[in-house]
Amino acid sequence: MDYWIRLHWFELSALLLLGLNLWFVAKILSALKAVQDSLILLARWLDIARIEVDRPPGAGRGEATND
């Protein structure tokens, strides 16, 4: 058993580091996805707010205008 451990410690440690690297990349991609979703939500909210500001008073709210 000691011979096998001495022979393969490098391969086992490389697999461990690869697994940790893949876990880290998955966490980073998850965080980036959350940021992207938040930015999309913020962009939609800002677009709705901009449309509300650009809209003339009384337009689109069901109020009658005197045209």
- pLDDT values of the chain reduced to their tens digit, one per residue, 67 residues: 677 667 688 888 899 999 999 999 999 999 999 999 999 999 888 888 777 777 776 665 555 555 4
Domains of the chain, residue spans: 25-54
User: Which pLDDT value is given to residue 16?
Assistant: 95
3-state secondary structure 4-52: HHHHHHHHHHHHHHHHHHHHHHHHHHHHHHHHHHHHHHHHHHHHHHHHH
* CA–CA gap between residue 38 and residue 5 (Å, rounded): 48
Specify the pLDDT at position 40.
92
> What is the pTM (predicted TM-score) of this model?
0.59
The pLDDT score that the predictor gives to residue 67 is 47
With vertex at residue 23, the alpha carbon angle to CA 5 and CA 31, rounded to the nearest 5 degrees, is: 165
